[in-house]
Amino acid sequence: MNAICTFALFLVAACTAFADVESGPKPGEKVTELKIFAATGMNEGKDVDIAKLRKDEPTIYLFVNAEKFTRPMAKFLRAIDAKVSDESDKAIAVAIWVGGDTDKMKEYLPKAQMSLKLVKTDLTVYTENKTGPNGWGLNNDAHLTAVIVNGGKVVKSFAFVSVDDSDAKAVLEALKVAVKK
């Protein structure tokens, strides 16, 4: 009986630790440089500093751990895309693949877009290193980090070790609050 209780406590501790991942900049921080390659969207085929281009506009930055991309994550992207501009016609989402083989991602993302059919979400690749951009505080244990930005400042960050379309509601609610400020 003791062994079963010990094992159960271990599982609870492991699940709790797995769920408590922090990733992304803190609320109130100013957005820093974010140079990406735009595989799809309004800057398709270009290397740009997307944070500089978005300036003060409401934006959801979705940092996708390239090695942990899944179908449920694709459903999450679709759910974000479907509602991102409900509160502001200037709001968009930018999905940034981090880690993995950047050349393969540059080739893959336009093909993924043909399947996903995203309208308000650009698919991009961070190419400078595998850990992500400086100043964004990304945690490699997070499968996806969502950062809501408005007025050039971080409103809220979410870290997901497992994500699906039901998680989009909280992210979109944070964007709604940010746009109303």
Domain boundaries along the sequence of the chain: 22-180
Count the neighbouring beta carbons within 10 Å of the beta carbon of residue 52.
13
DSSP state of 40: S
pLDDT band at 12 (very low <50, low <70, confident <90, very high): very low
Element of type H or E holding 6: helix 2-19
Superfamily of domain 22-180: Glutaredoxin (3.40.30.10)
Question: pTM of the prediction?
Answer: 0.89
47 and 36 Cβ atoms separated by less than 8 Å: yes
For residue 117, pLDDT over 90 is answered with yes
Quick one: the chain helix, strand, coil %, rounded to 5?
40, 25, 40
What CA–CA distance (Å, rounded) separates 93 from 147?
10
pLDDT category of residue 2 using cuts at 50, 70 and 90: low
| Crossing angle of the two packed helices 71-83 and 168-180, in degrees rounded to 10 | 30
Helix axis angle, 102-116 to 71-83, nearest 10°:
60
Contact 27, 58 (CB under 8 A): no
What average pLDDT does the chain have? 90
What is the per-residue pLDDT for 87?
A: 86
Q: Identify the band that residue 111 occupies on the pLDDT scale cut at 50, 70 and 90.
A: very high
Cα-Cα-Cα-Cα torsion 96, 102, 103, 107, nearest 10 degrees, comes to: -30
Nearest C-alpha neighbor of 88 from the set 178, 168, 20, 6: 178
Is the pLDDT reported for residue 76 higher than 60? Answer: yes
